[in-house]
Amino acid sequence: MFNLAEILTLLIGCLLALVFIDGVRRAIRIRRSKLKVDLIDSSSERDLDFEEEWQSYETPSAELEADEQISQTDGFEEENDLATNLNLNIIHLHHENEPVFSESSISQALVFYNFKFEEKGIFTILDSDNAPTFSVLNGKNPGIFLDSVTSNDVALVLDPMNLSNPVEAFELFIEVSQSLKETFQCNILDEDRNLMTKQMIEHMKHQFHEQQRQFLASAS
């Protein structure tokens, strides 16, 4: 038989364990929803946080809006987990020797694609219905191509939320990244700036299609 002190100790231990597990779960969910684009520091440019820069350009996505609404009630935990599993898809392009990327050079390289150069200094790639699919950014702070800025790094960023045809958008995302790689004779890197192989690209495609399948299955 347990005495009163032992019972109280067990109860307190269980409560602490539940609090710790809940904290870990929330931290993982928040971490998954963060933007993973890691811009390279440049001594000639201001030290800006790119996540803040990106958020100031774009209106909050459905993912962020869902998180705000879900946080107000415990009844939508499942929906929140689903939204945060749809991470941004990011590809970096890096030229080893010189700053070949600029508004002019990228515009010429994208001549066969439907795109627009935003006033805020980034490229938006459009689908056949002129709907935004993904963005092409300067890979160095502050992430833009205004005032004749040049760079040897660019980042392609695709947010799978709010797309009418996510799979078609992802295929275009991969196609444009390969086209820019060939045009500028540069390296194609993953979101962690590791050299991306054909096998890694196929794996990325598989992950994206699997995420979309799970999302549609859960939504239905």
Q: List the CATH number of the domain containing 199.
A: 3.30.1400.10
In a domain, 4, yes or no: no
Band (pLDDT 50/70/90 cuts) for residue 189 is very high
pLDDT in tens, 76-106: 344 334 334 457 899 999 999 999 999 999 9
Would you say residue 24 lies in a domain?
A: no
List Cβ neighbours of 218 (8 Å cut-off, separation of 6 or more): 82
pLDDT value at residue 152: 96
Number of domains in the chain: 1
Give the domain range for residue 167: 33-219
Cα–Cα distance measured from residue 70 to residue 167, given in angstroms and rounded to the nearest whole number: 27
Residue 11 maps to a domain: no
Give the C-alpha separation, 28 to 66, whole Å.
17
pLDDT (tens digit per residue) in 138-169: 999 989 999 899 999 999 999 988 787 888 89
pLDDT score recorded for residue 204: 86
Cβ 172 vs Cβ 125: under 8 Å: yes
C-alpha distances out from residue 200 to 31, 189, 197, 216, Å:
23, 10, 5, 24
Does residue 26 lie within any of the structural domains? no
Q: Is the model more confident about 176 or about 48? A: 176
Q: Compute the 3-state secondary structure of the chain and give helix, strand, coil in percent, each to the nearest 5.
A: 50, 15, 35
Tell me the pLDDT tens digit for each residue of 46-78.
444 444 444 444 433 444 444 444 444 343 344
3-state SS, residue 208 = helix
User: Alpha carbon of 203 to those of 40, 175, 199: distances in Å?
Assistant: 26, 15, 6
Q: Is residue 19 assigned to a domain?
A: no
Domain membership of residue 213 (yes or no) is: yes
Task: Give me the amino acid identity at 21.
Answer: I
Classified as helix, coil or strand, 24 is helix
Whether 165 is in a domain gets the answer: yes
The pLDDT of residue 94: 97
The contacts found for 39-44 with CB under 8 angstroms, 24 or more apart, are: 39/139, 39/140, 39/141, 39/143, 39/155, 40/139, 40/140, 40/141, 40/153, 41/140, 41/141, 42/140, 42/141
Range in 8-22, 108-122, 139-153 with the lowest mean pLDDT: 8-22
In-domain check, residue 15: no
